[in-house]
Structure 1
Amino acid sequence: MNCDCLIVDDEIELAKATCEYFEMFGVSCAYVTNANDCMSFTENNSVKLILLDINLGADSGFVLCKALREKTDVPILFISARQSDDDVLIALNIGGDDYIKKPYSLSVILAKVKVILKRYEGKSIVDKSNDTNSSSLNDNICGELRIEVDAMKVYISGKDAGLKTKEFKLFYYLYSNKNKVITKDELFAQIWGDTFFSDGTLNVHIRKIREKVEENPNNPRYIKTVWGTGYIFELLEH
């Protein structure tokens, strides 16, 4: 079965209503109510996007997200009635792509899902056709920093930095536009395929990249913040 969206929520009526609403507008959808059924469904079916609740009865959406991230990089959008900033940060830190607070508007969440699906449909992990700044698919960025696009890896002094897929996409997009200020909206559109995401989503991913590639993440050499605007991958010509 090919499924655009899988809803993982133990509120059966809400999950069912959301699923039926999506189907009305051409988004194929299924729902499960617990972690075991989610893992089984994703193992036996193709899923493009997951809406994941945090509270799943005896299960935790946080634990489930970590398990999913071991095997898939499909967008995971947390949906939860929990409102605290700590919950949002945990969700983003463990691999969630966004956090949507309940109660949500069906029309708004559908718009968000359709934009993400449109962006991901038929797209490769990295759109190499838009890369006009790098001279090859495997670049020595500088002495100790090297990028291999086909393998989606960044190496620091010969050691794999361990970037996850979305982290690599973000790193590579900034590098492809090196020495140019890239706005947050552009990054949301190009990397997440959506401009609805919160700044927290982007900030967490940038921080995790810096922790993996920068010698001093608090004083980055490469990925620098342009306050109020976005980020720049600064690479001085030698």
Structure 2
Amino acid sequence: MKYQCLIVDDEIELAESTAEYFNLFDVKTKYVTNYDDCIEFFKTNTADVILLDINLADASGFAVCKQLRETIAVPILFISARTSNEDILVALNIGGDDYITKPYTLSILLAKVQAVIKRYASTTEKKEESEQYEKGNLRVDFTAGKVYSKGKEIPFKAMEYRLLCYLIKNRGRIISKEELFKEVWQDAITGDGTLNVHIRYLREKIEENPNEPIHIKTVWGRGYQYEE
């Protein structure tokens, strides 16, 4: 069965109320409360976005994310009461696309999830026909949604790929952080920390020397610029 959102959280009352709220607004949502049920869910179902808590009774949400990322590319948004920078960096590094702290406001969380679902649909259903970018060692196949360096495919998370595509398609001009929040994340709530981490991961994947990038340039006080 196809769902728009799966919630993985062992706080049963919170998970249930969040799922009920989402369903009221026609975001088809289901919740599970542990690692095994989450893995079992994807054997017979799909979801466009996953809300994943870090602290589960039977396993860490980090472990769940790493397991899911072996076969699933849909956006994963971590939801947690843990607010340390270390937890946020770990979450993004292992495959998370965003990090949302508890307690959250249902209406804001719903808006964020709806934006992610819309974005995910646009990248899977409106791919440009026979379009690709190739320069030097880098090749991006927009139709297949794949990135290659020196002929070898590079694994990309959903948000990393969307960010790279936006930078490439707007290459040569300075793109402000506000524009990236609006056009890539489609969410003004996203903070500088999330963007900075994703920029760093892009550089590590496509730059010869990530510490001295020649493609993804920081224009201090203004934003970022992709140069060929």
Q: TM-score, normalised by structure 2?
A: 0.90
The verdict on how the C-alpha distance between 1:74 and 1:24 changes in structure 2, with shifts beyond 3 A counting, is same
Provide the secondary structure at the position in 1 that maps to 2:96: coil
Asked if 2 retains the 8 angstrom alpha-carbon contact of 1:89 and 1:200, the reply is no
SS at match of 2:124: coil
- SS of 1:99's equivalent in the other structure is strand
Q: Give the 3 Å change call, closer, same or farther, for CA 5–153 of structure 1 in structure 2.
A: closer
SS in structure 2 at match of 1:59? coil
Residue 227 of structure 1: how far off its partner (Å) = 2.3
The alignment status of 1:178 with 2:171, answered yes or no, reads: yes
- Please give the alpha-carbon distance, in whole angstroms, between the structure 2 residues aligned to 1:95 and 1:33: 20
The aligned counterpart of 2:19 is: 19
Once the two structures are TM-superposed, the CA of residue 122 in structure 1 deviates from its matched residue by 4.9
Q: Which moved more, 1:60-69 or 1:163-172?
A: 163-172
Q: Residue 62 of structure 1 corresponds to which residue in structure 2?
A: 62
Give how far 1:126 is off: 7.0
Corresponding residue pairs, total: 228
In structure 1, C-alpha distance between the alignment counterparts of 2:70 and 2:169, rounded to whole Å: 28
Aligned residue number for residue 131 of structure 2: 137
* Unmatched tracts of structure 2, length 5 or more: none
Moved more, 23-32 or 179-188: 179-188
Q: Residue in 2 aligned with 1:234?
A: 227
Q: 1:156 aligns with which of 149, 155, 161?
A: 149
Give the structure 1 partner of residue 72 of structure 2.
72
Q: 1:38 — aligned with what? A: 38
Deviation string, structure 1 residues 189-225 (Cα, Å, up to 9, x no partner): 3333333222222222211111121111111010011
User: 1:205: which partner in 2?
Assistant: 198
CA contact (8 A) 1:5 1:50 kept: yes
1:156-176: CA deviations, max 9, x gaps? 333334444432332222111
Give the distance between the partners of 2:122 and 2:171, measured in 1 at CA.
26
Deviations 1:61-83 (A, max 9, x none): 00101111111121111111112
Stretch of structure 1 that moved more, 155-164 or 194-203: 155-164
Contact 2:35 2:58 in 1 (8 A): no
CA distance in structure 1 between the partners assigned to 2:217 and 2:122 by the alignment: 31
Cα RMSD between the aligned structures?
A: 2.1
Other-structure match for 2:97: 97
Partner of 1:132: none
Structure 1 gap ranges (5+): 130-135
Normalised to the residue count of structure 1, the TM-score between the two structures is: 0.86
Alignment partners' CA distance in 1, 2:66 and 2:217? 29
Give the aligned partner of residue 9 of structure 1: 9
Question: Once structures 1 and 2 are overlaid, which stretch shifts more, 195-204 or 15-24?
Answer: 195-204
